[in-house]
Structure 1
């Protein structure tokens, strides 16, 4: 497994911008960053890059996770082209915005229903370590591993 001191292990990070990602440093993980307008687009772009042989991960918000479930199921899982997916989580206990609670509570059950392995990360370092460890293992999986980033106020 590579370390953070080495060159980035991923060719691309395809992400939907989110304020919770501001404290994450994707530059140590990926050589290039592509910005998507929504979660389904991010998953589809990452799928295409992975299909073309690139080492890629997607970073999406849980607020748009439900909109991307069909893309994950019909492309990534059914064609067995997995790549790590980082999901920033809002709506758990302590979130200052109560409108995020319904999807916050549904996030883990939705991901579990797809049969994805879930890893939890509570800091930039934990996100980096999780994604670095998954870069070696995700190519042998049939379903994408998912890293849930829980912001500090969730602890």
Structure 2
């Protein structure tokens, strides 16, 4: 049986040397979160807000470790001010953003940040690599991790909501 894109992403991140993973619980990342939480070599930290993850990954890098932040597009706005830390200190930063507010969204509160997440990240100096097809996620994450950790740059992989499917909590 072929591996799912979250399983391939997990393997690519492990090969990249990721030993810390920060996240705000998210259904779109649930399989990837479970894989990291089950790994005794990775410190998986559930956050109360996404900007905590920016600081955590900065501290991880200063301590010689590599990390990744998993969040939804709604959390991008919470990180903008903290991303100045990454820019000013020229730290590598890797985050995976599952999109909301686009493909068949049922929750109108997700739409404003969903429509502006990529522009907000770019405005904060983050390299954005958007993925529209599930098969492209693993290789894009691999390339993004190389860019982030080889050049000390902030990189976000934006995973289109279409890949995750339409959420419907009314049923």
Answer yes or no: same fold by TM over 0.5.
yes
Matched residues, number: 150
Look up the match of 2:83: 72
Q: Provide the C-alpha distance between the structure 2 equivalents of 1:65 and 1:86, rounded to a whole number of angstroms.
A: 11
Q: 1:122 to 1:17 in 2, by over 3 A?
A: farther
Choose the corresponding residue for 1:12, options 1, 9, 20: 20
More helix by share: 2
Look up the match of 1:53: 64
Post-superposition Cα deviations, 1:40-86, rounded to whole Å, max 9, x if no partner, equal 1111111111121112111122212112111111x111100112111
Q: Provide the C-alpha distance between the structure 2 equivalents of 1:62 and 1:144, rounded to a whole number of angstroms.
A: 16
Look up the match of 2:159: 149
Look up the match of 2:30: 22
Look up the match of 1:92: 102
Structure 1 portions without partners, runs of 5+:
none
Q: 1:5 to 1:54 in 2, by over 3 A?
A: closer
Q: What is the CA RMSD across the aligned residues, in angstroms?
A: 2.6
- Contact kept, 8 Å, 2:12 with 2:142, in 1: the verdict is no
- Contact kept, 8 Å, 2:19 with 2:67, in 1: the verdict is yes
Post-superposition Cα deviations, 1:92-139, rounded to whole Å, max 9, x if no partner, equal 142121221111111111011122211123466533322222333312
Q: 1:6 to 1:122 in 2, by over 3 A?
A: closer
TM-score (norm 2): 0.75
Q: 1:69 to 1:136 in 2, by over 3 A?
A: same
Choose the corresponding residue for 1:44, options 41, 47, 55: 55
User: Structure 1 residue 120 and structure 2 residue 130: aligned?
Assistant: yes
